[in-house]
Structure 1
Amino acid sequence: MYTHLLLLIPILWVGIQVTLKLGRAIFSPLKNIPGPFWTRFTSLWYFKQLYNGKFEHENIRLHQKYGPIVRIAPNQYSISDVSAIKTVYGSGSKFPKSAWYDGWKHPQQWTVFADRDIKRHSDTRKRFTSLYSMSSLVSYEPFVDRCIDIFFARLDEFATKKQSFNLGHWFQCYAFDVIGDITFGQRFGFLDRGEDIDGAISAVHNVMMYSALIGVYPEWHPLLFEPMSKLKSSGAAGRAYISKFVLEKISIQEHERKNTNDAMTETTGPQNFLSKMMQARDQNPEKITDYHLLIMGQSNVTAGSDTTAISLSGIMWYLLQNFEALDKLRQEIQEFTQQGRCSHEITFKETQEMPYLQAVMKEALRMHAATGLPMWRVVPEGGAQLSGRFFPAGTTVGVNSWVAHYDEQVFPNAQKFLPERWLEAETEPEKLKEMNQMYMPFGLGSRTCLGKHISILEMSKLIPRLVRDYDLTTLRKTMDTENYWFVKPTNFDVRVSLRRQGSLE
């Protein structure tokens, strides 16, 4: 008898859950919003799409089929609308991040990226903002120049051997070493060895996959994190690895500073992030804590390499598929060089004066944004009017940058790589404003990527030198990608040869 009762409990639980889901689907005020059939009842459809790693394309297709609002899961909606973007993500927005972001942190900790507390996030950003500001970029240029020289040494070797290679992988080596140098004052050594040192790249990839998927069912994250941390190939283990790695770097630098017997000793060379933050902590330990050092280091390592490497791949892929644009960029660099406005190393300041370079970078990041999933937010108290529809408080809504960037109403011929669209729009202020409102490769508003300016620095300095000094040939007609938040190229295979500097031949 008792056995039958015990068997009845899970059956009743499943029955109650099914009844609740059916009730929500039938009586929801948003029940007539279109989307795939199963999304009315379960998040499994969305989970499966994420697992397939191609959701950026599926998300675009859904909006082409169903319109500006699409159901992705029960009480979860993808939106494509300029006015909605401003409301949800604009400065002063009261839409907090959804529970999906809980999967991007340790269950017992908080981080800048995953923090759902709007006030705490704002307070934390203030502690870091100066380190990532445009005005700080000049001090980081020597780190970038150092890594570019090593990167080009590797390209010279490939050219000499006439050997093909995965350019996307080497962009990640470059980005990893730059962020390591900027953050800790020491390169990781990826550019020297060209391999995944200590499994760092693999750890970051595993973190992305685990976090993107577990975020669909965030209630499982606290239960699965600890046991999965014991599995070396899991995303939870990857997060534990990165945390340990950053703590070791902090410990090494703390030891070096203590050996100087003067925490305020000024260095003659460029100062790295960690050193600056340690000085700030020593001056104001209540404002900057050891935990702030940890989460800053984790954020830089986790996001600082992939986003830049992906963006570099996007820029070079579209240039190599559009020879006219490539020639125009080379012509611009040559003209600036002849006018004495472009040095051999090409400074960041010089790149900001090159209109076609800026248009190329902007258009490539439109066509291949680093992030490829909706940035989920929760409708605050009182509800919100979005895209002509009222959404009750507690509804989860989001805009995918790929969906926004391929909106034909804002970007006609959106499938075509047209850097000129940004230059032509400068004569139409309202058009340019609309394009910029829909342009979100680094996010928008108060949640804009902290490392945006550093990523732009790395790209701005590398791309013009790369197209000036080298000829690259792609070996594939398409660049395959894998999307677990970051839309990462998997087969950007190329061959390289040296160019005569300044030549357009």
Structure 2
Amino acid sequence: MAVESGLLQLCNLINIRAWNILLLLLVICYVIYVRYGTPLRNVPGPFLASVTRLWKLRKILSGDFEWTNIDLHGHYGPIVRIGPNEVSIDDPDESLGIIYGHGTKFTKSPWYQASDAPGQHSIFTDTDIARHARERRLVANSFSMTSLAALEPYISDCVQVLETRLFELSKENAVVDVGHWLQCYAFDVIGEITFAKRFGFLDRGEDIGNIMNVLDGFLSYSSWMGVVPEFHAPFTKLMSTFFADGAPLESLRRFASNVVEKRQASETSHPDFVAHFLRIHNQKPDQFPMSEVYKMCMVLTGAGSDTTAIALRAVVYFLLKSPDKLEKLRSEIDQRDMAAEVSKPVTYSEAVSMPYLQAVLKEAMRLHPSTGFTLGRVVPAGGVVLLNHFIPENTVVGINSWVAHRNASVFGEDVESFRPERWLESEEATKRMDRYFLEFGTGSRTCLGKNISLMEMSKLVPEIFRIFDFDLVDRKKPWHTVNWWLVKQTGLLCRVRVRKNSRT
């Protein structure tokens, strides 16, 4: 019996070792195939990136993927393999148009699936080109300059409320988190123009309804889950089963639906986005059901507030770090002010006519774009040749705005310098820079809210800098950033003072 037992144990041990060896051989075969057996074998990049998505997942979890992406292109060149089936591109010429141009058949990558409920889509996440085009046409008029012009007075109200808060803070001589107040401004503008009512962030200076925290949770979740989107549906179900609040996306959906319902119950004639969306719904309920109204409001609330706040922080930060540029901007503002050529607050049309102001806004967004991942697209049937490399169908390719905006052949050798003048030196150079300026995306997926964001920024920046001085608490200490798809900043700590002789 002892002998038989010993033999049985030996056989079991041999079987276990055989299975381990077989598993190891399968792993080795897989690694060899994905690294050397596909058409992507000649695309340079880190070895681990070519064999497992875990490499990219680890880099994203570090919160600074934008710099990783920049360093990769600096080391490997304009085309880099960042996954077994993913390639990062830096090409302002042919590749840009092929991937993102109008009429392209490149669809959004699976990464975007984690930014929506499983099986659902929104105008941001939709991978169906034809469906996206139909839905975009339905709402496009709501984002026209004619529609936005009717909303400008409400943005002006928010500018003046922030101005009042800054006056109050200047009297306290306390350290102020200016970045937080800019986020409050961006949120209240979205509340005003979307739901006909400010959320109240500027009044209280607090995270109303914990929505800022919810959005941060949603962004962090979608950023890493997008790398492994096949786990998004089961994880969402698990969260919904064991936690009352469910996934962050569900909290955001409830927030948007509650605010929409309150807006429907009001009798205001405010020309807000909910009014636009409800009108579309009433006219074409089959094409634009109430679920689409909620989705559009979610996109506006989330992306609209965060991206504008990020851009505003960048403008303030880089100006405070570059006193000569700030002085030049103030000179432009003060000259218009003394000549009674600007209103109080500045109108959008007046702001657009200030060339240096517009150059400052663009340069800040160039140096610190809101998004920090590649704008992934799936190669269509038949594959494509990019930068002399054949890229097979179903490969994900994309350009990261942080990489694009540091392309020296487009923006000059001083790409790390904050120099607004680069946008004013040559019409030809400006056109080339504009083409590779990806802050709002490009092609058919260009951000619908682009003009809203530009209006918010154009009205606020000249107003606060003609009235206030912002003194960085520690000029030598850089701010802190974290990249969860959106590259958000913290640490814009200042003391606020009213400018001497300011025309308040």
Short-chain TM bin: over 0.9
Query: What's the counterpart of residue 62 of structure 2?
Result: 52
User: Cα offset for 1:388?
Assistant: 2.5
Query: What's the counterpart of residue 392 of structure 2?
Result: 392
User: Cα offset for 1:42?
Assistant: 0.5
Which of 66, 69, 89 is residue 79 of structure 2 equivalent to? 69
Distance 2:490 2:187 in 1: 17
Listed one character per residue, the Cα deviations across residues 127-174 of structure 1 (whole Å, up to 9, x for unaligned) are 111111222221111221111112122211211000112111111111
User: Cα offset for 1:436?
Assistant: 1.5
Contact 1:274 1:293 in 2 (8 A): yes
Which of 108, 115, 121 is residue 132 of structure 2 equivalent to? 121
After the TM superposition, which of the residue ranges 334-343 and 115-124 deviates more from structure 2?
334-343
Query: What's the counterpart of residue 216 of structure 2?
Result: 205
Listed one character per residue, the Cα deviations across residues 268-287 of structure 1 (whole Å, up to 9, x for unaligned) are xx411101221232233233
Query: What's the counterpart of residue 460 of structure 1?
Result: 458
- 1:409/1:165 Cα in 2 relative to 1: closer, same or farther (>3 Å)? same
Distance 1:293 1:9 in 2: 54
User: Cα offset for 1:60?
Assistant: 0.7
Contact 2:256 2:294 in 1 (8 A): yes
Listed one character per residue, the Cα deviations across residues 88-125 of structure 1 (whole Å, up to 9, x for unaligned) are 11222211011111111000311111111111111111
Distance 2:17 2:180 in 1: 53
Distance 1:284 1:110 in 2: 19
Which of 257, 260, 267 is residue 250 of structure 1 equivalent to? 260
Q: Which letter does structure 2 place at the counterpart of 1:311?
A: A
Contact 2:159 2:345 in 1 (8 A): no
Q: Which letter does structure 2 place at the counterpart of 1:294?
A: Y
- 1:247/1:294 Cα in 2 relative to 1: closer, same or farther (>3 Å)? same
Query: What's the counterpart of residue 261 of structure 1?
Result: none
**1:11-90 to 2 correspondences below 5 Å:** 16=26, 19-83=29-93, 84-90=95-101
Contact 2:367 2:418 in 1 (8 A): yes
Instruction: Give the secondary structure class of the aligned counterpart of 2:385.
Output: strand
Contact 1:86 1:437 in 2 (8 A): no
Distance 2:439 2:481 in 1: 17
Aligned Cα RMSD in Å?
2.2
Listed one character per residue, the Cα deviations across residues 279-329 of structure 1 (whole Å, up to 9, x for unaligned) are 232233233321110111110111111000000000111111111111111
Query: What's the counterpart of residue 5 of structure 2?
Result: none
Aligned residues: 489
- 1:155/1:448 Cα in 2 relative to 1: closer, same or farther (>3 Å)? same
Distance 1:158 1:474 in 2: 15
User: Cα offset for 1:237?
Assistant: 2.4
Q: Which letter does structure 2 place at the counterpart of 1:50?
A: I
Instruction: Give the secondary structure class of the aligned counterpart of 1:409.
Output: helix
Instruction: Give the secondary structure class of the aligned counterpart of 2:299.
Output: helix
**1:93-492 to 2 correspondences below 5 Å:** 93-229=104-240, 237-256=247-266, 267=269, 270-412=270-412, 413-426=414-427, 429=428, 431-476=429-474, 477-492=477-492
Instruction: Give the secondary structure class of the aligned counterpart of 1:473.
Output: strand
Distance 1:9 1:166 in 2: 59
Q: Which letter does structure 1 place at the counterpart of 2:336?
A: F
Question: Which structure 1 residue ranges, 5 or more long, are not aligned?
Answer: 258-265
Contact 1:85 1:437 in 2 (8 A): no
Listed one character per residue, the Cα deviations across residues 452-489 of structure 1 (whole Å, up to 9, x for unaligned) are 11111110000000110000011233121010010100
Q: Which letter does structure 2 place at the counterpart of 1:189?
A: G
Distance 1:454 1:322 in 2: 27
Q: Which letter does structure 2 place at the counterpart of 1:298?
A: M
User: Cα offset for 1:13?
Assistant: 6.8
Contact 2:196 2:263 in 1 (8 A): no
Question: Which structure 2 residue ranges, 5 or more long, are not aligned?
Answer: 1-7
User: Cα offset for 1:448?
Assistant: 0.8
- 1:473/1:181 Cα in 2 relative to 1: closer, same or farther (>3 Å)? same
Give the TM-score of the pair, scaled to structure 1: 0.92
- 1:332/1:122 Cα in 2 relative to 1: closer, same or farther (>3 Å)? same
- 1:230/1:464 Cα in 2 relative to 1: closer, same or farther (>3 Å)? farther
Instruction: Give the secondary structure class of the aligned counterpart of 1:482.
Output: strand
Distance 1:8 1:245 in 2: 55
Query: What's the counterpart of residue 262 of structure 1?
Result: none
Listed one character per residue, the Cα deviations across residues 165-213 of structure 1 (whole Å, up to 9, x for unaligned) are 2111111111111101111111111111111122100100111010010
Contact 2:101 2:444 in 1 (8 A): yes
Instruction: Give the secondary structure class of the aligned counterpart of 2:358.
Output: helix
Contact 1:33 1:70 in 2 (8 A): yes
Query: What's the counterpart of residue 4 of structure 2?
Result: none
Question: % of aligned pairs identical?
Answer: 40
After the TM superposition, which of the residue ranges 32-41 and 215-224 deviates more from structure 2?
32-41
- 1:8/1:377 Cα in 2 relative to 1: closer, same or farther (>3 Å)? farther
Contact 1:384 1:393 in 2 (8 A): yes
User: Cα offset for 1:10?
Assistant: 9.5
